[in-house]
Amino acid sequence: MSRDVHFCDSTLRDGSHPKRHQFTIDDVRRVAGALDRAGVPWIEVSHGDGLGGSSFNYGFSLVDEYELMAAALEEMSQAQLAVLLLPGIGTKDELKKAWDTGARLVRVATHCTEADISPQHLTLARELGYVTVGFLMMAHMNTPEGLVEQARIMSDAGAQVVYCTDSAGAMTPSQVAARVSALRAALPPDVAIGFHAHHNLSLGVANSLVAIEHGATWIDGSTCGLGAGAGNTPTEIFVAVCDKVGIKTGMDALALMDAAEDVVRPIMDHVPLVNRDALLLGYAGVYSSFLLHADRAAKRFGVSSKDVLLEAGRRQAVGGQEDLLIDIASELADADRV
């Protein structure tokens, strides 16, 4: 079936955050199989922080990510495997190992002002044969013009798709429109534009539709919204809405509803909600995967997680600074004792 939108489901990668990276082989097999049968074209599998993310700072995986990838591939007949790599966490060796395991698309992710650390990984990925994606995270922290400059670095290095990534779920529809349309106008026509949303302001589906209206042809989601913070654009809801408005995805909305209800929901430790802390992520512009880290730091030092997240927003903390949350909680506790 022809598609207006290429779709990547991140349940088994972004969903690793709320699962505390404790996916089992059986979890991965069941989810990957259900998504494959529903026609999802790309299924992303790795630690929540990408290749090499299993660590003290980000949380150790229950099962080695390459074992999870191999298990997913055994259940996939039409879908292909995607992975995420953050330079400085994942290495070129891990990029090669993921290719040998069977991954065929890689998203090389950097902060929205640090695309200059991506070229060596994008270049190698093109040489290996990957579909190459540049992933500009926390895109609300750069202007449309600044985002274009960063996107050009990625496209010049070989990115075939460049994503505007709303890692904090902080963007409004007008902000999405401005950034996506700027990318589409500035990049060559053979470089596609993608959009990745988080649901912290309950705008994941709406913002994804706005992105499509302004030139994005790659969209991400997670089944049941399983992802960091309040979760991602829920795959089954997005596809149902696309069916209603005439956007072709090539996916079966009813099969995705079954996958969400019968396969993904039973393995969720909690349902992603726009509760106070998740809403604060979007309100203050804080990286979505900080949610559980902030909660742990707050409990450790006996302070409010709300205050930790607000201070992280004031300091403009970015992905990779999870240890800063411990410092913030400690400082807040010291201030309370004065």
Locate 293 and state its tokens.
């880290």
Residue 11, domain member (yes or no): yes
Q: Are residues 263 and 293 in the same domain?
A: no
d(CA 266, CA 270): 10
Please give the chain's pLDDT, 338 residues, in tens. 457 999 999 999 999 999 999 999 999 999 999 999 999 999 999 999 999 999 887 889 999 999 999 999 999 999 999 999 999 999 999 999 999 999 999 999 999 999 999 999 999 999 999 999 999 999 999 999 999 999 999 999 999 999 999 999 999 999 999 999 999 999 999 999 999 999 999 999 999 999 999 999 999 999 999 999 899 999 999 999 999 999 999 999 999 999 999 999 999 987 888 998 889 899 988 887 788 788 888 899 888 888 888 888 888 887 777 888 888 888 888 887 75
Choosing from 235, 267, 299, the residue where a domain stops is 267
| DSSP code per residue over 198-264 | B-TTS-HHHHHHHHHHTT--EEEEBGGG-SSTT-B-BHHHHHHHHHHHT---S--HHHHHHIIIIII
| Model confidence, pTM | 0.92
Question: Which stretch of DSSP H or E encloses residue 161?
Answer: strand 161-165
Q: Are residues 188 and 306 in the same domain?
A: no
Q: Is the dihedral of CA 320, 164, 20, 100 positive or negative?
A: negative
Q: What are the Cα distances from residue 112, in Å, to 16, 142, 177, 179, 338? A: 22, 6, 17, 12, 38
Q: Are residues 37 and 132 in the same domain?
A: yes
| Residue 292 CB partners (closer than 8 Å, separation 6+) | 17, 18, 20
Locate 168 and state its tokens.
């904090």
Q: For position 316, which CATH number holds? A: 1.10.8.60
Residue 233, domain member (yes or no): yes
Residue 127, domain member (yes or no): yes
Q: Are residues 111 and 259 in the same domain?
A: yes
Q: Are residues 128 and 225 in the same domain?
A: yes
Q: Are residues 316 and 197 in the same domain?
A: no
* Catalytic residue of the set 6, 17, 196, 293: 17
DSSP category for residue 23? -
d(CA 218, CA 26): 29
Q: Which residues of 66-95 are buried (b: 16+ CB within 10 A; e: fewer)?
A: bebbbbbbebbeebbbbbbbbbebbeeebb
Residue 275, domain member (yes or no): no
Strand partners, 234: 222
Q: How many CB atoms lie within 10 A of CB 24?
A: 14
Q: Are residues 129 and 201 in the same domain?
A: yes
Q: Are residues 302 and 244 in the same domain?
A: no
Cα-trace Rg, the chain:
18
User: Does residue 121 carry a catalytic annotation?
Assistant: no
Choosing from 215, 232, 267, the residue where a domain stops is 267
| Residue 141 CB partners (closer than 8 Å, separation 6+) | 111, 112, 113, 285, 316, 318
Number of domains comprising the chain:
2
Residue 179, domain member (yes or no): yes
**Quick check: 20 and 54 in contact, CB under 8 A?**
no
| DSSP code per residue over 30-97 | HHHHHHHHTT-SEEEES-TT-TT--BTTTB--SS-HHHHHHHHHHT-SS-EEEEEE-BTTB-HHHHHH
Q: Are residues 247 and 176 in the same domain?
A: yes
Q: Are residues 83 and 181 in the same domain?
A: yes
Q: Are residues 297 and 261 in the same domain?
A: no
Q: Is the dihedral of CA 63, 257, 35, 6 positive or negative?
A: negative
> What is the per-residue pLDDT for 1?
47
| Residue 100 CB partners (closer than 8 Å, separation 6+) | none
Residue 281, domain member (yes or no): no
> What is the per-residue pLDDT for 57?
79
Residue 258, domain member (yes or no): yes
Locate 79 and state its tokens.
């879908």
The boundaries of the domain holding residue 186 are 6-267
Q: For position 255, which CATH number holds? A: 3.20.20.70
d(CA 28, CA 264): 10
> What is the per-residue pLDDT for 305?
86
Q: Are residues 67 and 153 in the same domain?
A: yes
**Quick check: 29 and 64 in contact, CB under 8 A?**
no
Residue 328, domain member (yes or no): yes
d(CA 119, CA 112): 14
